[in-house]
Structure formats: structure tokens, C-alpha cells
A and B are shown apart, each in its own frame.
Chain A
Amino acid sequence: MRILILLLWLVFSSTSIGADSLWNLFKKKSKPKVVQKVKHRSHPSKKRKAEKKPKQEPTVPEGFKLVDAQWMANYVELEAAWDYYIPEDAWIWSANGKYLVPIVVFKHYEDMRNTHRSDSATPR
């Protein structure tokens, strides 16, 4: 009987399913380690690329004025009404839905708008 007990003790102590493994069952479970991910900072130049570019206003050269499409429509209507076209109309440029007009054209528009037309004049 003693020999049998000794043999059993030897077997248990040599294998991994020994006292240690039994002890582990009663041990408090330790929290798993949280591995913090290191945030890689994006390169500032890359970040800048991702940002949406605002709609760029065209640069206004000297002697020109930037007007919108409504202004242009009114100008076209006035010119047709007066049948008064000026050669500077050829210098009007369109850019991003707006128009660059020479100062002369702008003044021409102001003149046509401010001039009262007599009733005798028939629209063409």
C-alpha cells in the first residue's frame, strides 16, 4: 500500500497536471494585458492633401472686375435692349462660373442701366 502511494505521488509530481495545475484553478484570474496600439501620426503633407480644397476665386487682374452669372445675364439683356455692343466685350473671360470683365465693360453696364429710355424708342 505504501509503495502504491509513493508511486502515485511520483507520477503526479512529474506530470504537468500536478499540484500546480490544480492550484491554478483556484487562483484569481489576472486581467489580460491590453496592448496599446501606437498611433502613427500621418505626415502633415499627407493630411493637407486629404483636406478639401475650397473653390478658388479667380485672381482679378488689374483693370478687370469679377462679376457673377446674374450680372452677366443682365448685361447681355441690356446690350440686346440697347443694341449697343462694344469691342471690349471680346475681353470678357469666364472662370469657375464667374466672369472677369474689363472696367470699360463694367462702366458700359452702369451707363445702360442708369439711362432712362424714352417711350418712343422701340425695343429691338
Chain B
Amino acid sequence: MQGGVIINKVGNSYIFVFPSTEGRITGIAEPAGKIKVGKTIAVVYSLKIIGSGRARFIGFDATQAHTDPKPTLRVEEGYKTFGFAVKDANNPNLDIHMDPEFAKKVGASLRGEKVARQGNLYVTIGKDKDTLKIIRVDLN
């Protein structure tokens, strides 16, 4: 557990769990931070956990990459609740922003979609020569 986030590893997949505020284990109501995977992939999050007893999560699956991605979490202070922002330095067209206002703030064009703040993120990672690449992003 790091900064109120439970980190679980199963094989080559990682899951970052943000506990609900009304669950058995109480989490932070508005967690925010950055998860870096490899040298090029980063997921920035700033969430609002509404106490419904259900945990929210960000998952990374690198079973197709046949490598251990070893993501690093940095817990930061969120200035605004926006959701997720997925970035890949190798593929700038894949930038996904979940909130149009956030995209405006960071000066990026909106290529993603707006989703409910209660959503979860699951990123499937593959291998591209020496670096990792995003194959698929699921929101539910």
C-alpha cells in the first residue's frame, strides 16, 4: 500500500486499487497522482471516490508484452477532479483525456471521450521493439 493506494501484482499484470471511503478499508476521497510504465507510458489520475463500498482501480496488463512493466506510482495533490489521462510518448495520437476541460487546461486536443467519474481504467500493454506500447484502453 502506498499513499492510500493498494498495489497488487499478478504475473505481469498490476492493479492499483483506490478503496472506497465507506468500505472496510477507508481510502482517500479524492486521490490523485501519476503512474509511469516503462519509459514512455504514463497515466495521470485525479478521481473522486464516492462512498458506495466499491473500490475503483487502474489496471495494467502486460501479459502480451511478456515482460514485467514495473509501474511506479507517485501520489500527488489533485487540483481538479477530472478522471484519467493516458499518455504515450511514442504515440502522441493515442493521448486520451477523459475530461474536455482538463484537455483545454493542458493545451491538448481532445481525442478521447468523456466518461462517468465512477469509471475504472484498464490498460493492455504490448511490446514494440525495445519499448512498451499501449495496445488497448478499456473504461468501464
Contacts and interface: CB of A to CB of B under 8 A. Distances in A.
Interface of A: 69-70, 72-74, 76-78, 80-82, 92-97, 99, 117, 123-124
Contact of B25 (A73, A77, A92): A77
B61 interface: yes
Contacts, number: 70
Contacts of A72: 8, 10, 15, 57, 59
Contact of A97 (B12, B54, B138): B138
A97 B24 contact: no
Interface residues of B, number: 27
8 contacts: A69-B59, A80-B25, A94-B63, A95-B63, A96-B61, A97-B61, A99-B10, A123-B24
A25 to B, nearest CB: 63
Contact of B57 (A70, A78, A80): A70
Nearest to B56: A73
B8 A94 contact: no
A117 B23 CA distance: 11
B23 A94 contact: no
For the complex of A and B, the 9 pairs showing the least CB-CB separation, nearest first, are A81-B24, A81-B25, A73-B57, A94-B13, A77-B55, A76-B8, A123-B25, A94-B10, A73-B17
Nearest to B59: A69
B52 to A, nearest CB: 12
